Structure 1
């Protein structure tokens, strides 16, 4: 499976990229088959701007769009600016085709200077990704400056990563589910029950 990390961090080093790396590391621990690719939006800023003016992506931007479109799952991380996602983060998702994220599992995360901006996950990122018809995992991860090294962040990362792995496996691992299921019983992956599609469909049929 292919996982793409989209990081909108601007500085080097970046706490936004650090949070993304911690999330991808846990996902890779939970599923060794995951291959991770990183898209640094800071490096694509000029090409994103040109794309708005001429309608054509440059070579690096086109490669990033292709990677995101072909991914089995996505981790999207942004710093907080003016109580919302950054303009660079929004601009990248604006240049994607509307179908690029349809049905794709996405883990949302953000970094900021204060815990007061934690609602950015549900008030900004979740509506944006839901509008693009992505499947956003229930747990988002916000890291304020005081969260690094403090209790609680590691647990949120573990929970969110587990939810993403469960969704990615349930959507892309249909064959694996069929092979490991016994008598059509749900298979547990990352702490979540993955029910084969045939079983879900059968439950909707009226009884004879």
Structure 2
């Protein structure tokens, strides 16, 4: 609200609205979607959930009432929790599709010529599930990130290159710490065992999920 350009003019109401929408969408909806998917996937994969809780307990304390809040300083000691977040971002990227506009005539594959100014939509949900890029591509496997054998250009939840999201480190840090904080205190069990269906809205949401919450 206090920002002024070089001529002393403030942002217009339309520009302020755009900034608020960006902050709400990029800073809240995306992270909450990742955490929601992570909690459901951990509940559906008990061994993975147990491994994550073991890591979190080693950092935050294991006894009831003896736990402390996790902080950014704990991130180096939460590699598996970070890998869970990374795997969720691969399978269910919040920004499930992105668009790009060609700046010149471009040939995209054999026989596909695009004129300058053509808009191309890329579905990251499909790209990050390609079997030629990931082994067992449809499987939730946070352990794959320890092998470090994923091609750099195959992981695109934040985009890549000059247009990469500037909030990538902040977003993954926020999701990792939120997941660790929840897992250190609570165990969540889905009311229904029916797998959630991805809802491709502005972010890729798992939709409403009723879960039973039990203190650890």
The TM-score with structure 2 as length reference comes to: 0.24
Tell me which protein shows more strand as a share of its residues.
1
Larger RCO of the pair (alpha carbons < 8 Å, separation 6+)? 2
Please say which structure displays the higher CA radius of gyration.
2
Normalising by structure 1, report the TM-score: 0.25
